[in-house]
Amino acid sequence: MRRLLAGGVVASLFLLAECDTKANLPRRKSLSFAPDIHASFITGPFTSPLNAWDSEPDPVLVAVEFISEVSSDDRSSLYIRDDSYTDSNTGVTHVYVRQLVDDIEVMNAGMNINIKDGIILSYGDSLYRGGDAEPKDVDVHKAFCAALEEEFSAHFADFMKPFDSNPPSNGQLVMDHSGEQFQSADASTFGDSRYIFQDHCTENAKITSCMIANDCQWDLDLKDYSTGPLPAIFRFMLTASPDKDLISNMVDHGRDYMSNMTITDDDTDGDDVGRYLHRNLIENVPGTVSPVKAWFAFAQVPYGGSFALEPVWKFEVEMENNWYEAAVTVHAPYRIVSVVDWVSDSLMAPLPKKPEAGPGASYNVFKWGLNDPEAGRRSIEKEHFDALASPLGWHSIPISDALGRVSTVTNTTTTWGNNIIAHENWEGKDAWEDNYRPDAGAQLAFDYIYNPKVTDGSEDAMIEAKKYINASITQLFYTSNLFHDLFYRYGFDEVSGNFQHHNFGRGGKGDDAIIVNAQDGSGFNNANFATPPDGQNGRCRMYLWNTANPYRDGDLEAGIVIHELGHGLSTRLTGGPANSACLVFGEAGGMGEGWGDFLATTIRSTKNYSDYPMGAWAANTPRGIRNFPYSLDTTVNPSTYKTLDKPSYWAVHATGEVWAEMLWVVSHRLIAKHGFSETLFPPAPLSDGTIPEGDFYRLAEYTLSGKRKPLIPKHGNSLMVQLVVNAMKLQPCNPSFFDARDAIINADMVLTGGENLCELWQGFAERGLGPNARVIGRMPWGGGFHIDDFSIPSACI
Ligand SMILES: *[C@@H]1O[C@H](CO)[C@@H](O)[C@H](O)[C@H]1NC(C)=O
Ligand SMILES: *[C@@H]1O[C@H](CO)[C@@H](O)[C@H](O)[C@H]1NC(C)=O
Ligand SMILES: *[C@@H]1O[C@H](CO)[C@@H](O)[C@H](O)[C@H]1NC(C)=O
Ligand SMILES: *[C@@H]1O[C@H](CO)[C@@H](O)[C@H](O)[C@H]1NC(C)=O
């Protein structure tokens, strides 16, 4: 039986093996898997055919021309998604393409095309191009009901059997990839359920009633299956719900639950081509907190050595602790084809209650660069907001008029601002609006005690931690806002999908400040971050660590906060702002962890080189929470590409550790060449809005077409951060290590004309990811046989 290690878009920091023995810590159930499809990332540059006749071709026309060349299938239509954008930092236009077949969305097919000055720099491609074999499931118009009846009735027992997903000790769910987990169900146990389900179908569902009555003569039109998704969503909830009582109730009283669900049309997003075609809302779905969005789509699946389109019901399911995008086979509604967990809530940030003017805040915090309480003392820091990233500071929220212009500004005196909404969440619940936040009054002086004492028991340790909640929230708010401002300047802005309540008319979708929970009660010794698509709030849960007495507070360890916020950055930048399903499992999910570790480690590093562990203070162990500290020394950190062979490296955090180590080595090649900048923050803009070079930037000597010379970070560490961010935007959805490496090399070509080509290859090759590195037999969740290549391209020797 094939098995899959699941990761998730709700990416958690890790789970310490040694903490598993401590108490029954609450654990979030999360499902995550998808079929392995072909996908490629091709780096150019390629000259566009349009270049010949237009010296400044519109990048969208270039994309249209290009996609008409790559797609020859007459059933397909390709659309440019409306979250495509031109990056003002690099001048690169990132075009995201959605594929429809027979006017129906193919959920896991598409392209990302990177264009600058009429030249295609690189592109990712996972288009469906028809299979060698006639895909059986595509042919739904012929014998849909017959197939449904046959397959479904053979699996009635399976249908009602919940999939028991007890998390194994490493904290990751093990899910069967192909739905085979249902094969062993005992039919007799569920005889009654079969009756219940049939009865429901007769009453409510056109599609299933013909099946039950055995008279499926009507000409089936897929788009007319308005009642079709009910069995599929019911079955999905049996698997997805973490509530064992609810599951057994659903099995026992399936009829009631099914007949309580209602379906209505939902045309609210009908203008978004393809995606919401025939979208329905299903109400009263057990275990959910809002109506489930459901629509008909295709999923591309491996089939007979090629690929086929499987008709699926696609769902967006919001639950207390999960927020799933799931696809369930129409023919076999007990089979989940893919599932991605975004977590989070869809609530838009309402405005805070106490508007009051403020002078500019100050905070008693471990200042930026101090990784944790052992790295230095707290000091009073000013609200050094970046004028480009946060034009109104961290405590002011603009409100738009009907035309989208800023009409009024609400100033807050709490930790609620346009980028970040920070508060305690001791209850560990989803609700957050009314959670406690410190109110620093008109002076905005967030100066609070932090003086935890050793206590007797764990109950007292918790009481002790709660005493300094004001300081925790203040620190979390400060670190998170600086993260927002810093990465804004490296290009994580409104159009590329950043997190802000108001977007100042600069594009992208607003209403998505990050909700950050300090001392979140839903867990210990960890942290997590949920990234839904642009326009919906991100959510970060920071936990206490019961690794010492007094407890250690993750809110005070900048590296952990940066790692988590890094998930929001990498997920929104990879595959486009509207696609949150690109860094979920396997190598892609692993790199999602690795970027966070790399950025946290780079931010704390100084001119004097040092190795760094992750999470060492919170976990109260010098080696930290990974297998090795990040180090240039192979005797301290021996990770290479081949390390991924080890089964213990199949989970996302260990995979990420290998990627972060590679980035650390590569960044020091750049530091050796370009030196080290004491600060990663670019200079403030001048009063006319231009950005001075200062000692931070230099002007590019080269651009692809001689136009629009960009500013290049002058030093190795700041250059590496810039290349990493730019590469996230270039790489395809679900990238491999090779794709992500090639995207960084491509990013350097775009930014500098490729002047660091050899340093980048030398760095990657040092850890086995040279040009001839290969993998044999890789599965979507990891594994396979990895071949290190320590060589560099001959041009660099
Ligand atoms: C179905 O709805 C009725 C009426 O609202 C309610 O009393 C009943 O508890 C519901 N049953 C289930 C299983 O949710
Ligand atoms: C809100 O704060 C901003 C910046 O701190 C300030 O310029 C503005 O005057 C304040 N607005 C109100 C209504 O107090
Ligand atoms: C937190 O700060 C508020 C003032 O904003 C103060 O009234 C409260 O007592 C403080 N809470 C704790 C636990 O110190
Ligand atoms: C680097 O080391 C030197 C010599 O030990 C020391 O004087 C300096 O303060 C250190 N710099 C930083 C940024 O840690």
- 252 labelled binding-site residue: no
Domain match, 653 and 762 both: yes
CA-CA-CA-CA torsion for 751, 754, 755, 758, nearest 10 degrees?
130
Task: Determine the pLDDT at residue 28.
Answer: 56
Task: Give me the pLDDT at residue 351, please.
Answer: 42
Angle at 569 between CA 567 and CA 575, to 5 degrees: 100
Length reported for the chain: 797
The percentage of residues in the chain with a pLDDT greater than 90, rounded to a whole number, is 44
The alpha carbon of 494 and the centre of ligand 3 are apart by a number of angstroms equal to: 35
Q: Which segment, 1-10, 516-525, 635-644, is predicted with the most confidence on average?
A: 635-644
Q: Decide if 14 is inside a domain.
A: no
Is 312 found in the same domain as 426?
Answer: no
- Using pLDDT thresholds of 50, 70 and 90, give the confidence band for residue 151: low
Model pLDDT, residue 505: 82
Nearest CA to 26 out of 523, 527, 426, 525 is that of 523
What phi and psi values does residue 417 have, to the nearest 5 degrees? -140, -170
Higher pLDDT, 636 or 50: 636
End position of a domain, from candidates 291, 309, 341: 341
pLDDT tens, position by position, 261-279: 887 776 554 444 444 455 7
pLDDT at residue 721, rounded to an integer = 98
- Measured from the Cα of 260, ligand 1's closest atom is 1
Instruction: With cut-offs at 50, 70 and 90, classify the pLDDT of residue 375.
Output: very high
Domain that holds residue 522: 362-564
Would you state the pLDDT for residue 471?
98
Contacts of 675-679 with C-beta under 8 Å, sequence gap 24+, read 675/714, 675/715, 675/716, 676/607, 676/715, 676/716, 676/717, 677/713, 677/714, 677/715, 677/717, 677/718, 678/606, 678/607
More confident residue, 12 or 691: 691
| Contacts of 256 by beta carbon, 8 Å cutoff, 6+ apart | none
Residues 696, 776, single domain; the answer is yes
Q: What's the pLDDT band for 611 if we cut at 50, 70, 90?
A: very high
Is the torsion defined by CA of 485, 599, 84, 708 positive or negative?
positive
Active-site choice (494, 564, 759, 766): 564
Q: What is the pTM of this model?
A: 0.80
CATH number where 548 lies: 3.10.170.10
- CA 222 to chain CA centroid, nearest Å: 32
In tens, the pLDDT along 38-96 reads: 788 988 777 655 444 456 678 888 888 888 777 666 677 888 888 999 998 888 999 99
Residue predicted with more confidence, 234 or 732 = 732
Atom of ligand 1 nearest to the CA of 256: 13
pLDDT interval class at 17 (50, 70, 90) = very low
CA of 2 to the centre of ligand 4 (A): 53
Which has the minimum average pLDDT: 459-468, 610-619, 644-653?
644-653
Q: Indicate the residue among 534, 564, 594 that finishes a domain.
A: 564
Is the model more confident about 209 or about 109?
109
441 and 298: one domain? no
Nearest to 325, CA basis, from 334, 337, 333: 337
Q: Are 160 and 191 in contact (CB under 8 A)?
A: no
Mean pLDDT of all residues in 136-148 = 40
CATH code at position 696? 1.10.390.10
Say how many domains are in the chain: 4
Q: Do residue 289 and residue 393 come from a single domain?
A: no
Domain-embedded: residue 616: no
**What is the number of other CB atoms lying within 10 angstroms of the CB of residue 173?**
22
Q: Concatenated DSSP letters for 246-284?
A: HHHHHHHTHHHHHHH-EEEE--TTTTSTTTTTT-EEEE-
C-alpha pair distances (Å), 580 with each of 56, 279, 285, 533: 32, 19, 24, 5
Q: Are 44 and 556 in contact (CB under 8 A)?
A: no
The yes-or-no verdict on residue 672 having pLDDT over 90 is yes
Instruction: Judge if the beta carbon of residue 265 lies within 6 A of ligand 1.
Output: no
Cβ(469) – ligand 3 distance below 6 Å: yes
Measuring from atom 5 of ligand 4, which residue has the nearest CA? 608
Q: Would you say the CB of residue 531 lies under 6 angstroms from ligand 3?
A: no
Does residue 358 carry a pLDDT above 80?
A: no
Mean pLDDT confidence for 327-335? 77
668 and 771 housed in the same domain? yes
pLDDT attached to residue 169: 28
Other C-beta atoms closer than 10 Å to the C-beta of 507 total 17
In a domain, 78, yes or no: yes
- Answer yes or no: is the C-beta of 470 below 6 A from any ligand 3 atom: yes
Closest to 239 (Cα-Cα) out of 308, 328, 367, 156: 328
What pLDDT, on the 0 to 100 scale, is given for residue 342? 67
Let me know whether 520 and 488 are in one domain. Answer: yes
Q: Nearest CA to 281 among 237, 315, 322, 236?
A: 315
Indicate if the pLDDT at residue 329 is higher than 60: yes
593 annotated ligand-binding residue? yes
Residue 397: enclosing H or E segment and its boundaries? strand 396-400
What mean pLDDT do residues 473-498 have? 97
Backbone angles phi, psi at 10, to 5 degrees: -80, 105
**Is 502 in the same domain as 377?**
yes
The predicted pLDDT at position 687 comes to 80
Q: For atom 1 of ligand 4, which residue has the closest CA?
A: 608
Closest-CA residue, ligand 4 atom 10, reads 608
The pLDDT score that the predictor gives to residue 84 is 93
Residue 578 CA to residue 536 CA, distance in Å, equals: 10
d(CA 102, CA 99) in angstroms, rounded, equals 10
Kindly indicate the confidence band of residue 651, based on its pLDDT and cuts at 50, 70 and 90: low
User: For residue 620, is it within any domain?
Assistant: no
Same domain, 178 and 111: no
Distance CA 52, CA 66 (A): 14
Higher pLDDT, 219 or 229: 229
Tell me, yes or no, whether 17 lies in a domain.
no
Q: Is residue 569 part of a domain?
A: no
**Model confidence over 155-204: pLDDT tens digits?**
555 666 655 443 332 222 333 222 222 222 222 222 222 222 222 222 22
What is the per-residue pLDDT across 747-764, written as a single tens digit (0 to 9) for each?
Answer: 999 899 899 999 999 999
For position 162, what pLDDT does the model report?
A: 58
pLDDT at 14: 39
Which ligand is closest in space to the CA of residue 288? Answer: 1
Note whether 660 and 546 are same-domain residues.
no
Nearest protein Cα to ligand 1, atom 4: 260
Atom of ligand 3 nearest to the CA of 439: 5
Annotation-wise, does 65 bind a ligand?
no
Predicted local confidence at residue 445, as pLDDT: 95
Residue 427 annotated to the active site: no
CA gyration radius, the chain: 26
Q: Establish whether residue 256 lines the binding site of ligand 1, counting it when its CB lies within 6 angstroms of any ligand atom.
A: yes
Residue 32 included in any domain: no
Residue after which a domain boundary falls, among 125, 147, 177: 125
Neighbouring C-alpha atoms within 13 Å toward the C-beta of 92:
29
Residue among 383, 409, 414 whose CB has most ligand 2 atoms within 8 A, to mutate:
409
- Mean pLDDT rounded to a whole number for the chain: 79
Are 300 and 172 in the same domain? yes
Greater confidence, 573 or 442?
573
Query: Is residue 778 located within the same domain as residue 712?
Result: yes
Q: What is the pLDDT of residue 247?
A: 86
The pLDDT, as a whole number, for residue 451 is 96
Confidence band, pLDDT 50/70/90 cuts, at residue 404? low
Count Cα neighbours of 401 within 13 Å in the Cβ-side half-sphere: 5
Q: Is the pLDDT higher at 638 or at 347?
A: 638
- Supply 461's token pair: 């340790």
Nearest CA among 429, 421, 425, 523 for reference residue 476: 421
Tokens found for residue 293:
């969005």
Percent composition of the chain: helix, strand, coil (DSSP 3-state, to 5): 30, 20, 50
- Please report the pLDDT score of residue 781 as a whole number: 60
Pairing state between β 85-86 and 262-265: unpaired
9 found inside a domain: no
Residues 6+ apart with CB under 8 A from 117: 56, 91, 703, 704, 705, 707, 708
Q: In angstroms, what is the span from residue 392 Cα to ligand 2's centroid?
A: 8
Work out the widest C-alpha separation in the chain, in whole angstroms: 78
Between 697 and 687, whose confidence is greater?
697
Predicted local confidence at residue 18, as pLDDT: 30
Q: What CATH number should be reported for the domain holding residue 74?
A: 3.10.450
Q: Whose CA is nearest to atom 8 of ligand 2?
A: 357
